Amino acid sequence: MIKLTSPYEQCPSYETERLLLRLVKESDAKELLECYADPDAAALFNADNCPHNFICHTVEEMTNYITYWLEEYAGRGFVRFSVIDKQTQTAVGTVEMFSHAQLQKTGVMRIDLKSEAEKAELLTELLKLASSHFFTAFDVKHILTKAVPKATVRIDALLRSGYTAVQDNAVLPFADYYMK
């Protein structure tokens, strides 16, 4: 029997023709600031149960958030991946993934993308990449992700990727979740 390595023991990178997901780095701060300082992008973020809203105005603030994410990773809280657009070689956002302790075999995925990256093609590719790897890597049977009602492009990509809307409060005490 093959024993899988935990993403907390050795963080994997995942790749498609267009995207690369890898553990966030402090050197991503300047590029990620374009996402986290963007009020249109921030309106789509999932900050449920987060101690911060992750809206930044300076590279220093962004670096502080990345430091926090890396501390959480070291403590096995979650993995925060940078989403690298291989065409531009830039970080266009992040994806966070973790197995939810209270929801047996269910993971939660947070997707934060800058406005220009919130496109059907990129989202569909990102969701396919996550489906191909996250179920096994995080040992989950289901993945939950949030999409607020005004995130119409994201909702469409989720539905086309096999996610279904979760009835409010059916799984989590928060609204606007989709599950695969």
List C-alpha distances in Å: 177 to 31, 75, 113.
Answer: 28, 26, 17
In a domain, 122, yes or no: yes
Q: What is the pLDDT of residue 1?
A: 44
Burial of residue 167 (CB within 10 Å: 0-12, 13-18, 19+) is: exposed
In a domain, 4, yes or no: no
In a domain, 109, yes or no: yes
Q: What is the pLDDT of residue 63?
A: 96
65 phi and psi angles, rounded to 5 deg: -65, -45
In a domain, 1, yes or no: no
In a domain, 5, yes or no: no
Question: 10 Å Cβ neighbour count for 26?
Answer: 12
Consecutive H or E run containing 125: helix 120-137
Q: What is the pLDDT of residue 49?
A: 65
Q: What is the pLDDT of residue 13?
A: 94
In a domain, 151, yes or no: yes
Q: What is the pLDDT of residue 172?
A: 67
Q: What is the pLDDT of residue 175?
A: 78
Instruction: For residue 47, give its domain range.
Output: 14-179
Q: What is the pLDDT of residue 170?
A: 61
Q: What is the pLDDT of residue 81?
A: 97
Please report the sign of the dihedral spanned by the C-alpha atoms of residue 31, residue 34, residue 36, residue 40. Answer: negative
What region, left, alpha or beta, does residue 83 occupy, with left being phi > 0 and alpha being psi -120 to 50 degrees? beta
- Residue 95 sits in a domain whose CATH number is 3.40.630.30
Consecutive 10-residue runs of the chain (180 residues): their mean pLDDT? Answer: 72 94 96 94 78 80 94 93 95 92 82 95 95 92 93 96 84 80
**Three-state secondary structure call for residue 15:** strand
In a domain, 51, yes or no: yes
Distance CA 36, CA 114 (A): 7
Tokens of 93: 């956002």
pTM score of the predicted model = 0.90
Number of folded domains in the chain?
A: 1
Distance CA 169, CA 173 (A): 5
* Residues forming beta bridges with residue 22, ordered by sequence position: 82
User: Angle of helix 29-36 relative to helix 59-74, nearest 10 degrees?
Assistant: 100
List C-alpha distances in Å: 86 to 20, 69, 106.
Answer: 7, 23, 30
